[in-house]
Amino acid sequence: MQIPDTWAPLIVSGIRDAVKYNEELLRSETLRNRTDYEEHLLVLSQCLEYLKTEYQKVESSVGIPLEKLLGAPKP
């Protein structure tokens, strides 16, 4: 599968948002099938790590540093 470099920031930030959402969802006391959601979060997290590695390969052509895209605090 080939994905345009210009879509890379959207994909990385979308999966990052999905990870954050599912982390919050797991804090819910009314959640059913918690194990399913835990497994889903694990796969999303693995996907995000893969995408971050791939993003670094196109980061210079995209023009948005990964740290800025992820909203990482600067030291």
Q: Give residue-wise pLDDT tens across range 40-74.
A: 999 999 999 999 999 999 999 999 999 999 986 55
The residue assigned the tokens 């959402």 is 21
* Predicted TM-score (pTM) of this structure: 0.87
Of 12-16, 29-33, 34-38, the poorest mean pLDDT is in 29-33
Segments in 1-75 forming alpha helices (H): 8-25, 34-62, 66-70
Task: For residue 53, tell me if it sits in a domain.
Answer: yes
SS3 of 7, please? helix
Task: For residue 70, tell me if it sits in a domain.
Answer: no
Nearest partner of 9 among 52, 43, 49, 73, judged by Cα: 52
Determine contact, residues 5/62, Cβ cutoff 8 Å. yes
Q: What is the pLDDT of residue 75?
A: 52
Task: For residue 32, tell me if it sits in a domain.
Answer: yes
Question: Which class for 64: exposed (0-12), middle (13-18), buried (19 or more C-beta within 10 A)?
Answer: middle
Task: For residue 73, tell me if it sits in a domain.
Answer: no
Task: For residue 10, tell me if it sits in a domain.
Answer: yes
Write out the residue range of the structural domain in which residue 10 sits: 5-65
